[in-house]
Amino acid sequence: MKKIAMLGSGFIGRFYADALHGNRSADKIVSIYSRRQESAQKFADDYGVPHVTTNMEESISNPDVEVVCIALPNNLHEEAVMLCCKHKKAVITTKPLGRNAAEAKRMLEAVEQAGIFNGYLEDLVYTPKFIKAMESVKNGALGRILWAKSRETHPGPHSEWFWNIELAGGGCILDLGCHCVEITRSYIGKDIKPVEVMCWADTQVKPIDAEDHAIGLIKYENGSIAQFEVSWTFRGGLDLRDEVMGTEGTIWINSFLRTGFEMFTTGKGADYVAEKAESNSGWLFPVGDEINELGYNHMFMDMFKSMEEGREPKETFYDGYVVNAILDAAYKSAKTKQWEPVQLDIWRGKEGLTKPSTLTDYDADHYLIKEEMTHFGAKKLILKNKTTGRIEERVLS
Amino acid sequence: MKKIAMLGSGFIGRFYADALHGNRSADKIVSIYSRRQESAQKFADDYGVPHVTTNMEESISNPDVEVVCIALPNNLHEEAVMLCCKHKKAVITTKPLGRNAAEAKRMLEAVEQAGIFNGYLEDLVYTPKFIKAMESVKNGALGRILWAKSRETHPGPHSEWFWNIELAGGGCILDLGCHCVEITRSYIGKDIKPVEVMCWADTQVKPIDAEDHAIGLIKYENGSIAQFEVSWTFRGGLDLRDEVMGTEGTIWINSFLRTGFEMFTTGKGADYVAEKAESNSGWLFPVGDEINELGYNHMFMDMFKSMEEGREPKETFYDGYVVNAILDAAYKSAKTKQWEPVQLDIWRGKEGLTKPSTLTDYDADHYLIKEEMTHFGAKKLILKNKTTGRIEERVLS
Amino acid sequence: MKKIAMLGSGFIGRFYADALHGNRSADKIVSIYSRRQESAQKFADDYGVPHVTTNMEESISNPDVEVVCIALPNNLHEEAVMLCCKHKKAVITTKPLGRNAAEAKRMLEAVEQAGIFNGYLEDLVYTPKFIKAMESVKNGALGRILWAKSRETHPGPHSEWFWNIELAGGGCILDLGCHCVEITRSYIGKDIKPVEVMCWADTQVKPIDAEDHAIGLIKYENGSIAQFEVSWTFRGGLDLRDEVMGTEGTIWINSFLRTGFEMFTTGKGADYVAEKAESNSGWLFPVGDEINELGYNHMFMDMFKSMEEGREPKETFYDGYVVNAILDAAYKSAKTKQWEPVQLDIWRGKEGLTKPSTLTDYDADHYLIKEEMTHFGAKKLILKNKTTGRIEERVLS
Amino acid sequence: MKKIAMLGSGFIGRFYADALHGNRSADKIVSIYSRRQESAQKFADDYGVPHVTTNMEESISNPDVEVVCIALPNNLHEEAVMLCCKHKKAVITTKPLGRNAAEAKRMLEAVEQAGIFNGYLEDLVYTPKFIKAMESVKNGALGRILWAKSRETHPGPHSEWFWNIELAGGGCILDLGCHCVEITRSYIGKDIKPVEVMCWADTQVKPIDAEDHAIGLIKYENGSIAQFEVSWTFRGGLDLRDEVMGTEGTIWINSFLRTGFEMFTTGKGADYVAEKAESNSGWLFPVGDEINELGYNHMFMDMFKSMEEGREPKETFYDGYVVNAILDAAYKSAKTKQWEPVQLDIWRGKEGLTKPSTLTDYDADHYLIKEEMTHFGAKKLILKNKTTGRIEERVLS
């Protein structure tokens, strides 16, 4: 039962509003700030918001407001956060936290000094599929995590500021990679230190200064490896997939393009064609409930419940800072073509981990390499002699 | 912001409670009735319900209660509905409405005479996928609907009363077929009259009196055909799929077993194995957010919003009655091995429809049977002479 | 190493030729017969066939010819078969064998009297997926088979004669249902007697005399049920799926539209657009190796190897006859709206089977209805008292 | 119609033999060489091979032999190839060609100097799905290729020598990466020069000296990027997937674990359990026709047809050499943690390509960044001013 100021009336602000006012919610947006009066007013009309302003501080300091939700372009996050600190309002911020780790660190230190609630709106670690997958991983269903990959690619963002490297702070690495980094970091363990990053990035298609395609690897202290694949040049929709590999299992998640809903249409149904003229025929793959599938419901629930219960939410500014630090290393690596260390002035997880041994005893003299069933039902072993290093096969009847 | 009495503390009652209290809901269960004190008390503890009783009328008549939610075995629906009429409380009832159309009709007439709000809790026409598919169908993306199939099969229900034909009123036709009938009826059009039903049913596996497997066809007045496939003997989980075919397209929905979440585990993760010992290894297909995927959120939202707005919900007792009438015809057909007419004493949709003509003019002298592209890029036509009936091919360069 | 006369140079004849001459085959088409000289000549040129004729008997009686492959419209099968009998040539015939059981029976009796090798070219029980699935079924992986469904739907056949009920003998039931019937019959057991058929059929879209959509159920003597779904009005491609349900498992096969090959294209690649202009954009689902996936390779291998080894192939004219008899009952049922008995003057399988009992003992006093794991890791049983019929739950810790 | 000497009677030799003798093949294995007499004899018995020997040269020089097929451990390829050169026999060799580029180069130079036919048995660019995908790529359906990924992971190879770094020459990079490199290189264009490689590799699970998990990126001269993901530690079966991204489309291929065949079994069918005891229950995903799906049929067809027609096959020793050179760079990169140049002493493709410009004119003053349809049916453009660099949105009604 929270009263919210929404900063930003664009694409993401409206997505958030749909989630916040959705289902049978008791929460309410009570103030809307936008840089453009017309946009603010339209938002207010659509969502029944009483207070409308083009002055950011006026929205934040509004006495009705308990929580400030930042849904602004990346270059405005820091200013908004600082005003929340000044007015001691709980603050939740869209991703990425900053355009870089320096910005993120300043925001992190400010909210902690101000003692205000801070939440990082990384929705994709709140999707229902992610939450259930994470439980299985924690329960040991996958054994030790070896590799986690997250892929987010689509044909490019909707608003102009994303394409401006100054306002956005980067290209698809910052826009999409922030999701992938936090997803894979979660699977590997948020208390495991990210050590170094290798990244390839290029501007392959778009006439822009930032990268429109990138692939990166992140090495963690315990030897686990994370991978991100991001692009603004993918054709075919929004491709949102995660994969995790452990010693005892694997998880594959498809969050958008293949979720059990398939439709073919010739496009001859007249009304339908009129409504959206581009991809209106052939095989289409809609998502049933985008808001829920993208994690917005569970994200805001965690944010508001933890606020009410006086605890930290799953994702805080600290997490946003760690993500920015990893992405900084990725950008540096894309330039230097080296593995670049992750610069973490603030680190609150484990330290000094080492890679687990890969030696598995079979008996006193042998390590076990592999065991499998033969066609004729016997067990076949591949063993390594501890002394000689010799590899041998053995078939047990 | 509704205050609810929950009648029934079993499997479905708890599912409903999870939905009602889920996310950031302002609605609240204020009274719980169960036949067994212990079960009622456990429910009250788990969901923070202040009023606990083993007397049904006490729960319904509780002055705090605005809405009564019936989550009881089928044989108790009528009694509960009549008490709601007596106390003029809004009532929403789990599926099926009655054990047969006679029961359903009495309930329908009673709530309408009492002038109380009545909702039929057919969750599967509220799933996010169904809602989006239905929009496409209404927009004409599939053209004229020719066929709609719904399949629900699993290894059998959890509670003992389902297996007792007296309490349940039937087997898997009543338990699962009620979903399939309303899903397919919705695609074809709820104002189109179901005319006759052919059904095969058998008790193939279980030592019970009711059917554990059935397949049925429902003919509608406009020539559309609906199909249901239901079973309590399926191995492999909960199979929940719909298919719709129209003149301009098709829709395939998989609501449970293939939704973009795939996990393999050897089952060696110790904790995980301990927790659920049966299907703990191999390829598993969890659903991210069962409550939402099964439609509970959108169903209760419709019920409560329509109550607040003084309009009818999408699903009322009238719909429950129509479904029961169709299922009665199915049961009769399974015995007589005939197409049995659907007996609808109350019908509020269209009357007197006929099947659309299948003749499509190509030119003054020919009907068009088919047009397709040849390998070499020309258009090939198959035509029928209107006078002679002769069928001919024509290739247009 | 067989020398073949191909009768028919159309769509299916060319498909067969691709299979017969494919890979590193030693077999060879040595004679081609077509009703039209031009078509015969083109076929001969494309496949390097030395003997070209528009006289059917000339092709069959050609001394080089060892095997006659009939790839003609349905109304010409009988004539061709009789000529093979006359000239004592091994004969293999495309599906369906006859336009009805009477035709099929005459052909069956003729080839057996003539003592010639006869094969029924039902390719879909030779697909690699079917063959592997069938092995699993035979090994007991699915337990007792309860239900088998086969679905084949597409936007209608390519050649004009299919649309002429006189030449074809029927509509999609005969054209596509013959596949579905033999697939499902194989899963249930080809020695199990089909007893009766219920079929719905309609002409929903096409301006033709035959049916363009049908659904049928076939009851077998052992209580198993088969189902076919066929249509010439499906939009979206060739939908070819089978499902089998047994007491211990289930199989789902998708043979065409979802086989692990997915492509999205905007259609802007100029050459590509030029080549096939209809479905050249959006998500497309090609099949890698159509010939192999549709079973042609394994079908001809079985035919020729069994010829060489002096044994019967998996599919003979007898099977074609049984299929025709089942389809006759389907056509009759579609008219009478009754379950119609399958008229089998010739039956070589088991007789007098009864449905297995559904009673499973739990202990001396109870039957077992269901056992499942509870959330808290205990085993829950649903039992039926043998004497009282009472159903009860029991939880074993 | 070829007479073949098979060198090696192990897993891959038998796979090859199944393909070579499969379907209605006229080709024949006439000599089998194995290091162990018992294994050679068993192979000869199973495949009806007249000549059996444990002397490699005896098999190669056998006058009946036209083609030598090398199916030996990696460390024996060079010796076998040199004997083929000596005896002037056509030679086809399993993958990888050498343990490194030096070996591969010596083999390439030897066969060319000897003037003998040489084929590189990279089966995965002969899978039916790959062949069809490649056609689409060549036809321009995907536009300019930006990225191609191939993934092959499984729980580790069957024979002991793979695990011995001396005999195998490496771990999963060499064993599986050779496939991935040639697949992705084909999509990008085999005449495009691979420039440099970045690779992460680790021994995460197995007690061996070689890597059991690796991820690599390969940059091509035209700016395209290839990616491989390989592992011997994957749980869940054989994961074999490719993805290609172009400016106009995308392709996703799943060659093994999801090909439209799904089976659930409780594993209670007694015979079935006995046969393969490990993964005999739950959801299983068999492949219909492994031999064909893995490309063996089309590979040997290309090899033998090109031999007969006196042309080069699609894959020659030259291709094997290029693959080895790329993998050498990958191994080096895994150690140096740098992008390592691909050392190609022999290069027969294009030289001096540059990355295509990313500038797309919209009008005289603007570049086009993106165009999309708005919700209300208008076209929205994102443009970049050529002079000022300013990015702007424009909505066309």
What are the residue boundaries of the structural domains of chain A, listed by start?
3-124, 125-292+312-341, 366-396
Residues of A with CB under 8 A from a CB of C: 235-237, 264-266, 279, 281-285
| Closest Cβ opposite residue D264 in set B235, B265, B266 | B235
β strands within chain D, DSSP E:
3-7, 28-33, 51-53, 67-70, 90-94, 118-121, 145-153, 194-202, 213-220, 225-231, 239-246, 249-254, 261-265, 282-284, 340-341, 366-373, 379-385, 391-396
**A217–D233 C-beta distance less than 8 A:** no
**D284–B236 C-beta distance less than 8 A:** no
Any bridge partners for residue D254, and if so which? D241
The answer to whether B382 and B362 have CB atoms below 8 angstroms apart is no
The Cα A5–Cα A40 span in angstroms is 12
| Closest Cβ opposite residue D160 in set A206, A234, A391 | A391
For residue B343, name the pLDDT band (cuts at 50, 70, 90): very high
Q: Over 80: is that where the pLDDT of B332 sits?
A: yes
The answer to whether A200 and D214 have CB atoms below 8 angstroms apart is no
Q: Over 80: is that where the pLDDT of B278 sits?
A: no
**D284–B283 C-beta distance less than 8 A:** yes
The Cα A76–Cα A168 span in angstroms is 10
- For residue C311, the Cα-to-chain-centroid distance in whole angstroms is 22
Task: At C360, list the tokens.
Answer: 């499973």
Task: At A56, list the tokens.
Answer: 């950011």
The Cα D259–Cα A120 span in angstroms is 40
Whole-number pLDDT of residue D189: 98
**A227–D245 C-beta distance less than 8 A:** no
For residue D274, name the pLDDT band (cuts at 50, 70, 90): very low
- The CATH number of domain D3-124, selected from 3.40.50.720, 3.40.50.300, 3.10.20.600, 3.40.1180.10: 3.40.50.720
Residues 6 or more apart from B72 whose CB is under 8 A from it?
B7, B8, B80, B94
Q: How far is CA B261 from CA B155, B291, C347, in A?
A: 21, 16, 48
Q: How far is CA B206 from CA B157, C364, C371, in A?
A: 12, 17, 12
Candidates A110, A134, A127; CA nearest to A190 is A134
**Residue C12: half-sphere exposure toward Cβ, Cα within 13 Å:** 20
The Cα B327–Cα B332 span in angstroms is 9
Task: Give chain C's radius of gyration (CA, Å).
Answer: 24
- B vs C, Cβ pairs < 8 A, gives 172
Candidates D220, D181, D201; CA nearest to D321 is D181
Q: pLDDT by residue for chain C (397 residues), tens digit each?
A: 899 999 999 999 999 999 999 999 999 999 999 999 999 999 999 999 999 999 999 999 999 999 999 999 999 999 999 999 999 999 999 999 999 999 999 999 999 999 999 999 999 999 999 999 999 999 999 999 999 999 999 999 988 999 999 999 999 999 999 999 999 999 999 999 999 999 999 999 999 999 999 999 999 999 999 999 999 999 999 999 999 999 999 999 999 999 999 999 998 865 544 343 346 789 999 999 999 999 999 999 999 999 999 999 999 999 999 999 999 999 999 999 999 999 999 999 999 999 988 888 999 999 999 988 776 667 889 999 999 999 998 988 7
The Cα C381–Cα C390 span in angstroms is 14
| Closest Cβ opposite residue A264 in set C236, C264, C265 | C236
Candidates B342, B200, B172, B197; CA nearest to C197 is B200
Q: Which regions of chain A are under pLDDT 70?
A: 269-279, 375-377
**C235–A283 C-beta distance less than 8 A:** no
Give chain A's length. Answer: 397
Q: Which conformational region is residue B368 in: left (phi greater than 0), alpha (psi within -120 to 50 degrees), or beta?
A: beta
**Residue C226: half-sphere exposure toward Cβ, Cα within 13 Å:** 32
Candidates A198, A211, A208, A200; CA nearest to A170 is A211
Which chain D positions have a beta carbon within 8 Å of C240's beta carbon? Answer: none
Candidates B261, D332, C307, C5; CA nearest to A253 is B261
Which chain A positions have a beta carbon within 8 Å of D151's beta carbon? Answer: none
Any bridge partners for residue C149, and if so which? C227, C243
Which chain D positions have a beta carbon within 8 Å of C269's beta carbon? Answer: 139-143, 248-249
Q: Over 60: is that where the pLDDT of D271 sits?
A: no
Rounded to an integer, the average pLDDT of B29-56 is: 97
- A vs D, Cβ pairs < 8 A, gives 171
Instruction: Using the Cα atoms of residue B162, residue B167, residue B171 and residue B174 in order, give the sign of their dihedral.
Output: negative
Residues of C with CB under 8 A from a CB of A: 235-237, 264-266, 279, 281-285
**B283–D285 C-beta distance less than 8 A:** yes
Candidates B56, B45, B104; CA nearest to B84 is B56
The answer to whether B316 and B299 have CB atoms below 8 angstroms apart is no
Whole-number pLDDT of residue C273: 41
For D176-225, how does the pLDDT look when each residue is reduced to its tens digit (9 = 90+)? 999 999 999 999 999 999 999 999 999 999 999 999 999 999 999 999 99
Min Cα separation D234/chain A (Å): 7
When scoring B264, B268, B276, B285 by the number of chain D Cβ atoms within 10 A, the one with the most, hence best to mutate, is B264
The answer to whether C295 and C126 have CB atoms below 8 angstroms apart is yes
Min Cα separation C4/chain B (Å): 27
Min Cα separation B337/chain A (Å): 35
Which chain C positions have a beta carbon within 8 Å of D297's beta carbon? Answer: 23, 292
Whole-number pLDDT of residue C210: 96
The Cα B57–Cα A385 span in angstroms is 76
**C276–B158 C-beta distance less than 8 A:** no
DSSP A357: P
The Cα D358–Cα B171 span in angstroms is 64
Candidates D114, D51, D37, D52; CA nearest to D83 is D114
Cα angle at D14 between D13 and D20, to 5 degrees?
90
With a pLDDT cut of 70, the percent of chain D lying above it is 96
Residue A279, classified by CB atoms within 10 Å of its CB into exposed (0-12), middle (13-18) or buried (19+), is middle
With a pLDDT cut of 90, the percent of chain C lying above it is 89
Which chain B positions have a beta carbon within 8 Å of C392's beta carbon? Answer: 160
Whole-number pLDDT of residue B32: 98
Task: At C94, list the tokens.
Answer: 């495309």
| Closest Cβ opposite residue D292 in set C136, C142, C292 | C292
Min Cα separation D349/chain C (Å): 24
| Closest Cβ opposite residue B288 in set A129, A269, A271 | A129
The answer to whether B358 and B131 have CB atoms below 8 angstroms apart is no
Residues 6 or more apart from A109 whose CB is under 8 A from it?
none
**B285–D282 C-beta distance less than 8 A:** no
**C370–B206 C-beta distance less than 8 A:** yes
The answer to whether D109 and D318 have CB atoms below 8 angstroms apart is no
Whole-number pLDDT of residue D359: 84
Residues 6 or more apart from D388 whose CB is under 8 A from it?
none
Min Cα separation A102/chain D (Å): 26
Closest residue in chain A to residue C263, using alpha carbons only? A236
**D263–C141 C-beta distance less than 8 A:** yes
Whole-number pLDDT of residue C274: 38
For B253-276, how does the pLDDT look when each residue is reduced to its tens digit (9 = 90+)? 999 999 999 999 998 865 544 343
Query: Which SS3 state, helix, strand or coil, does residue A312 take?
Result: coil
H or E stretch including A292? helix A290-293
Closest residue in chain C to residue D292, using alpha carbons only? C292
Give me the torsion for CA of B27, B33, B38, B39, rounded to 10°: -60
Candidates A249, A184, A260; CA nearest to A216 is A184
Residue B182, classified by CB atoms within 10 Å of its CB into exposed (0-12), middle (13-18) or buried (19+), is buried
Rounded to an integer, the average pLDDT of B309-313 is: 97
Say whether domain B125-292+312-341 belongs to CATH 3.30.360.10: yes
β strands within B23-126, DSSP E:
28-33, 51-53, 67-70, 90-94, 118-121
Phi, psi of B248 (to 5 degrees): -120, 5
**D206–A358 C-beta distance less than 8 A:** yes
Candidates D293, D299, D330; CA nearest to D316 is D299
Which chain C positions have a beta carbon within 8 Å of D275's beta carbon? Answer: 139
Q: How far is CA D100 from CA C210, D125, D182, D198, in A?
A: 66, 21, 15, 17
